């Protein structure tokens, strides 16, 4: 029983229309599901991913108009990476971002890989990372749009960075409970702080890593627009999901119990530093209620919400995307 890698990362946006433009028109991701927050059906939930909506490619956003900005700090998921094929792709993206008026940092080594850091219009901290033929969990099928050559398209999620005041409690959970293993470290890029520690699961590589940054100087994060709500990890099937449920229950960590999101089964829990983790099944997938060819083109509701479609649509603000 082993987690495969990253499943999705979920963030907050205050402007879904601009969010859609940024992630589809600039970054070239596919909108694979336009649905609602199942815990608050007056809020949209947008999923972006690769051409087929494969697990390990999704970056998702809850739409909360008027939401205040994020105040960065500890107990946070402080950056989200997106995989590209090579360092040449990073040079392409640096120019493309500049063409859209988006500033980026210089190409920098993180965990021995070339990376390019930038932010979206709400301050979401994003990092492009070049695979450069590295072994590990396989990349997926990119969604290619005009202006982005296939060889430079985004392939899926890369390493996620956790920023904490004290690393040991988080490390204990991800290693002893979740089965991650330490695979390296690299110097902090933000000053005289401890090295960033690198942990991997499954086959490892860019799609299966957590990076842990220790920053005792920072206050606790105040989450708002552009911030990361939670990170989810891949469970291959429902049989192993049942085993993970039993295992997490035995740890006595605060958790959600079993949650059926229809597109996947989920289990949420908070590690000791307060960061929200989710374990999600690969099955059944995002094409369970829509043809692959038309993913994301209509408001999709799981069967348990479908009887309330008229009420839900009436309480949703119009969203033209």
| 118 falls within a domain | yes
Residue 22 lies in a domain: yes
CB 135 within 8 A of CB 121: no
Return the CATH number at 274: 3.10.180.10
In a domain, 320, yes or no: no
* pLDDT tens digits along 77-132: 999 999 999 999 999 999 999 999 999 999 999 999 999 999 999 999 999 999 99
Structural domain containing residue 57: 6-315
Taking alpha carbons only, the member of 28, 31, 38, 1 closest to residue 16 is 31
- Contact predicate 212/67, CB 8 Å: no
Report residue 321 CA to chain centroid gap.
21
User: In this structure, is the dihedral angle defined by the CA atoms of residues 301, 304, 307 and 308, taken in order, positive or negative?
Assistant: negative
Residue 12, CA atoms < 13 Å, CB-side half-sphere:
18
pLDDT tens for 7-39 read 999 999 999 999 999 999 999 999 999 999 999
* pTM over the 0.85 mark: yes
Structure tokens at 84: 């590209």
In a domain, 213, yes or no: yes
Identify whether 55 is part of a domain: yes
From first CA to last CA, the distance across the chain in angstroms is 40
Number of domains in the chain: 1
Q: Are 9 and 232 in contact (CB under 8 A)?
A: yes
Residue 310 lies in a domain: yes
* pLDDT tens digits, 208-250: 999 999 999 999 999 999 999 999 999 999 999 999 999 999 9
Q: What percent of the chain has pLDDT over 90?
A: 93
User: Is 75 within 8 Å of 221 (Cβ atoms)?
Assistant: yes
Residue in this structure with the two tokens 């590589």, named with its chain if needed: 205
Please indicate, yes or no, if residue 321 is contained in any of the structural domains: no
Check whether 139 has a pLDDT greater than 80. no
- Spell out where 131-274 has E strands: 156-164, 181-186, 196-200, 209-214, 228-235, 259-260, 264-270
* Residue 1 resides in a domain: no
Give Cα separations from 317 to 10, 15, 80, 276 (angstroms): 21, 12, 28, 28
Q: What angle do CA 2, 154, 53 make, to 5 degrees?
A: 60
Residue 7 backbone class (left: φ over 0; alpha: ψ -120 to 50; beta: rest) = alpha
Does 74 have pLDDT greater than 80?
A: yes
């Amino acid at each position: 029983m082993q987690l495969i890698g990253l499943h999705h990362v979920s963030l907050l946006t205050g402007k879904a229309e601009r969010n859609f433009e940024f992630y589809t028109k600039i970054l070239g991701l596919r909108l694979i599901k336009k649905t609602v927050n199942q815990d608050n059906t007056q809020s949209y939930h947008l999923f972006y991913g690769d051409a087929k909506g494969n697990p390990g490619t999704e970056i998702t956003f809850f739409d909360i108009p008027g939401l205040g900005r994020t105040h960065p700090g500890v107990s946070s998921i402080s950056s989200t990476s997106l995989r590209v094929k090579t360092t040449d792709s990073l040079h392409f993206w640096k120019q493309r971002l500049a063409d859209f008026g988006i500033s980026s940092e210089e190409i920098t080594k993180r965990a021995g890989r070339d990376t390019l850091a930038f932010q979206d219009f709400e301050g979401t901290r994003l990092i492009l990372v070049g695979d450069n033929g590295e072994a590990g969990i396989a990349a997926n099928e990119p969604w290619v749009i005009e202006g982005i050559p296939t060889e430079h398209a985004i392939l899926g999620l890369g390493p996620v960075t956790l920023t904490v005041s004290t690393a040991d409690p988080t490390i204990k959970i991800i290693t002893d409970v979740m089965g991650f293993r330490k695979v390296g470290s690299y110097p902090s890029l933000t000053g005289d702080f401890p090295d960033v520690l690198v942990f991997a699961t499954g086959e490892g590589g860019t799609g299966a890593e957590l990076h842990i940054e220790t920053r005792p100087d920072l206050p606790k994060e105040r989450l708002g627009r552009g911030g990361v709500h939670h990170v989810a990890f891949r469970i291959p099937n429902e049989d192993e999901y049942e085993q993970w449920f039993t295992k997490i229950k035995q740890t006595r960590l605060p958790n959600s119990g079993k949650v059926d999101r229809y597109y996947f089964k989920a289990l949420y829990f908070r590690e000791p530093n307060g960061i929200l983790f989710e374990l999600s099944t690969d099955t059944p997938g995002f094409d369970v209620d829509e043809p692959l060819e038309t993913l994301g083109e209509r408001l999709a509701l799981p069967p348990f919400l479908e009887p309330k479609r008229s009420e839900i649509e009436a309480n949703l603000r119009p969203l033209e995307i």
